[in-house]
Amino acid sequence: MQDFRTLKVWEKAHSLTLDVYRVTRQFPPDEQYGLTGQLRRATASIPANIAEGCGRGTNNELARFIQIAQGSASEVHYHLLLAHDLGYLADSDHQRLEATIIEVKRMLVGFLKTLRNT
């Protein structure tokens, strides 16, 4: 068992989640239970799965939760594109968030490789 808060990938994913919560406050009210909720849940799922995996007993179990986090990250990547294309996200917000989710995805891949090589 390891402390998830010491992982750079968790820090980056947590920061992304906070940022997504901030920008989605400006989404239309009728999206509260649609895109806003879905994007927030998927984004929060990334650091939550990292944390849950760190609470498991083996690297194999942690790797499984990292894979789940990867799926959530891909979902977030799409939802950010959708929000931008619908006009809910400004270009600057979309570019910043997209760069961050790409970095998180890259970090998750690297972390998974490390886990599988130990």
The answer on pLDDT for 93 being more than 90 is: yes
The answer on pLDDT for 118 being more than 90 is: no
Count CA within 13 A, CB hemisphere, residue 99: 5
Which stretches within the chain are classed as H helix?
A: 8-24, 37-54, 59-85, 91-116
Distance CA 73, CA 93 (A): 17
The tokens for 33 are 């239970």
Which pTM does this prediction carry?
Answer: 0.96
By the 10 Å C-beta count (0-12 exposed, 13-18 middle, 19+ buried), 38 is classed as: middle
Confidence of residue 43 (pLDDT cuts 50, 70, 90): very high
Domains of the chain: 4-116 (1.20.1440.60)
Question: What average pLDDT does range 91-110 have in this prediction?
Answer: 98
Q: Which is nearest to 67 in space by CA: 38, 23, 110, 108? A: 108
Query: Which residues, 6 or more positions from 104, have their beta carbon under 8 angstroms from its beta carbon?
Result: 9, 12, 13, 16, 46, 73
Mean pLDDT, the chain, rounded, equals 96
Question: What average pLDDT does range 90-104 have in this prediction?
Answer: 98
CB 53 within 8 A of CB 65: yes
The answer on pLDDT for 1 being more than 80 is: no
Q: What is the pLDDT of residue 2?
A: 83
The answer on pLDDT for 88 being more than 90 is: yes
